[in-house]
Chains A and B, each alone.
Chain A
Amino acid sequence: MTDLLSKFDGLIAERQALLDSGVSDPFAIVMSEVKSPTEAVINGKDTILVGTYNYMGMTFDPDVIAAGEDALRRFGAGTTGSRVLNGTYQGHKEVEEALRDFYGTEHAMVFSTGYQANLGMVATLAGRGDYVVLDADSHASIYDGCAMGNADIIRFRHNSVEDLSKRLGRLPPEANKLVVLEGVYSMLGDIAPLKEMVAAAKAHPNVMILVDEAHGMGFFGAHGRGVYEAAGVEADVDFVVGTFSKSVGTVGGFCVSNHPKFEILRLVCRPYTFTASLPPAVVACAATSIRKLMHSDAKRERLWENTRHLHGGLTQAGFTLATATPESAIIAVLMPDQQTTAMMWSALIELGVYVNMARPPATPTGIYLLRCSICAEHTAAQIDAIIDRFKKAAAATDCQLKAA
């Protein structure tokens, strides 16, 4: 029988073949207990988490928990409404104020997820006759924002300043263009050369720039604003999109800007307008966490130290990593093919280590990887254990390593 779901038969067969080879399903794990930002119980076993986006370990911060509990009791479990109708509470205003303080901007707009923030900003800013110019490795939410809008979509080769400039040069000078960049690219953990890219983009007429700092917030730049702050291009970036579901430690998305007409977006940005706002407990947790991230120098230091530790250890063990040096808090271990990736992932989960398995189309063509994301709260002993278990998993699965 064929029906609407028949188009997925190929994927169903590929998945079944993988599972039949005896590996456990990397896309169906359940955490029955979460003990800390770095430890959970998976399949009844204590597991070190090195595949979360909990970079700053804020999920169990006592002040964050207390703020959430208080808001839950005082304002209830949910708002049951849109931000523009009955869904804006005091807490939503407070978290936007916290964002304005954190980023030093005039405006901040909070969405229900980071995905919706990109979806809404890209689809709404660029309309018919405009152009969106995006990096080939952009996150799905950026591609989906392009698909939702009516602009013409131009894609440039990943992190190539020359390719960006060449493609902008082919567009009509009078047309409005939105260049979309990311500070950290989440699959390979590489960072964008934002100083050069922003300069190249602004050399063309009628260009505005949006930078997604989802994976850079909290530990890049003097104020932890992201890679764009570290690159010194704050004055030339028109919109910054971010999320509460990584360093902030809860869920939600946002855009901050100094554009004088920014506030009108609340009425025309459909993924903002036509969905329920975040629950009071979530915005209270986020506001508290953001304010604490302003003064988290010690945590930033530990996060970078842990990142260097893991990158160095895995390199020395003979693994091939996506970046020669630790550029961000993401360390991607390159694998030769899907089967080896799945077997390594399976061996690691048996050994009590959870990492992300990633494959195309989430990754660029032909790239399979085991992605580690590091937390400021990982102990040195945990990092050593992760390195040791990677070696054991490689030995158990015949994964080829380079000679040290």
Chain B
Amino acid sequence: MNENTDRLPRDCVEISGQVEFHVRAGAEFADTFPGSTFTYDQHSLEAPACSLVTVVFENRDEVRHQWMVHGLPRYLYPGGMFHIEANGGETVEGSFIVPSDRQSYLVHCDLTQHMEKGMKAQLLVAGGSGDLWSVPGVSGDFYPAEYPAGALAGWIPVILLVALLGASILLRRN
């Protein structure tokens, strides 16, 4: 998990404050986002610089899920990672101290295809450095999925015909 409640990042002189998030995870939250399978109930979390962040992670599914942050200082967090893993039905809690930089950290579940199918969020420290890609409800996909144009496609010849007719009438008037 790499929990850390007392060792300060080098750029912090003290813990500036505490924030706590109760994050729920599971397939049930994916219904809000068509085309996803698993997700969290919160996708963009904000924490002040140098704050102690506590995450209560409630897994509502019957399979494993993770709430994993990447990009933290490696001298405090092996692999640059703080991570909570909860078996199906479990609630697991953990805390860590964030550095002072304005930074948007990736939060995800690293089981295969969980992030790709919606289990992705961001932790914005000191306001963050912009939104990450593909965060459900927050940002778009870099490679958006392709869907059929649907009924509109059948109307394209009609639209073209009308456009041509209109153009020819205009040309005649002139």
Q: Do A and B bind each other?
A: no
User: Which residues of A approach B to under 8 Å, CB–CB?
Assistant: none
User: Which residues of B approach A to under 8 Å, CB–CB?
Assistant: none
